[in-house]
Amino acid sequence: MTPFLIVLLFPLAVALWLGIRIVPQGEEWVVERLGRFSSILTPGLNIIIPFIDQVRYKVTTKDIILDVPEQEVITKDNAVILANAIAFIKVSNLERAVYGIENFREAMRNMVQTSLRSIIGGMELNAALSSREQIKAHLKTAIADEAIDWGLTVKSVEIQDIKPSPNMQRAMEMQASAERERVALVTRSEGEKQAIILNAEARLEAARKDAEAQEVAAKASAESMRIIGDAVKDSNASATFLLGDRYIQAMQKLSASENSKIVVLPADLVGAVKSLLGGK
């Protein structure tokens, strides 16, 4: 091989070497020719024109995981909660992804944050804390149209965490504690009310029974007086005995009292009893 031929073949070999591009699996490369979009290199062996064609972007074709950082969101009822999410996207149109937006990863992350604030901002606190699936569905719908314009496909969006802020959590705990105390107070008041009602009913029943007993005693006393009256109709001996017995019992009770120091009895007890009957 002559030196002249070697001189000719060497630049050709160098150019061929510079024009060979091996694209790994899971990636696609964007080629610009003289500063303008030319083609897309797929995985495998590719040939470009050296010094004219240039690989400008290397983009993954695998699913991309976007971690959306935690942020404070104000709900419809002015409660502050903390929420973060994670989005799974895929590049479906490489040309739009690299030329339609400055940084599609950062753009999608900001889009998810903004949409999440908007969705939760239209909900009340309790609804926001208990409607994770609903928020996720609305969030995916909200970002899907913009993602298509940027050559992206939203595979899935998940709400990682949604919880009250520390201050709001303390306020909720105080509210829950106050509610428990209120329920306990109401329960205790109801118990006391029922106890008062039962006591009143018991006293009423006792009074009714006492009245019935007094009525029975009065009827018995009246019947006994009638019997005594029939017995002493012709003679007052029985009446004298009965009154004397009652008189003696009364004197015994009087003498048993702690306040009694001296008990004076009449000398003629029978005469005193007879005087109660009119001296007959």
* Half-sphere exposure for 30 (CA within 13 Å, toward CB): 19
pLDDT value, residue 86: 92
Q: What is the CA radius of gyration of the chain?
A: 54
Q: Please, is 27 exposed, middle or buried when counting C-beta atoms within 10 Å of its C-beta (0-12, 13-18, 19+)?
A: middle
**Residue 175 corresponds to which amino acid?**
Q
Q: For residues 139 and 112, what is the distance between their CA atoms, to the nearest angstrom?
A: 7
Q: What mean pLDDT comes out for the span 13-40? A: 86
Higher pLDDT, 196 or 261: 196
Q: Is-contact 136 159, C-beta < 8 A?
A: yes
Q: What mean pLDDT comes out for the span 219-229? A: 68
The domain segmentation of the chain, as residue ranges, is 3-60, 64-164, 182-231, 235-280
Q: What mean pLDDT comes out for the span 72-90? A: 89
pLDDT value, residue 31: 92
Q: For residues 89 and 64, what is the distance between their CA atoms, to the nearest angstrom?
A: 5
Q: What mean pLDDT comes out for the span 165-183? A: 74
pLDDT band at 43 (very low <50, low <70, confident <90, very high): very high
What are 263-277's pLDDT values in tens digits? 555 545 556 555 555
pTM over 0.85: no
pLDDT value, residue 258: 63
Q: Does domain 64-164 have CATH number 3.30.479.30?
A: yes
Q: What is the DSSP letter of 234?
A: S
Q: Over pLDDT 70: what percentage of the chain? A: 72
Which residue is associated with the tokens 């105080």?
Answer: 174
Lowest average pLDDT, out of 82-86, 182-186, 253-257, 266-270, goes to 266-270
Q: For residues 167 and 165, what is the distance between their CA atoms, to the nearest angstrom?
A: 6
Strands (E), the chain: 20-23, 27-33, 36-41, 44-47, 53-60, 64-74, 80-91, 152-164
With b meaning 16 or more CB within 10 Å and e meaning fewer, what string describes 80-108? bbbbbbebebbbeebebbbeebeebeebb
Q: Is-contact 28 40, C-beta < 8 A?
A: yes
Which residue is associated with the tokens 């009340």?
Answer: 124
Encoding tokens for residue 32? 């610009």
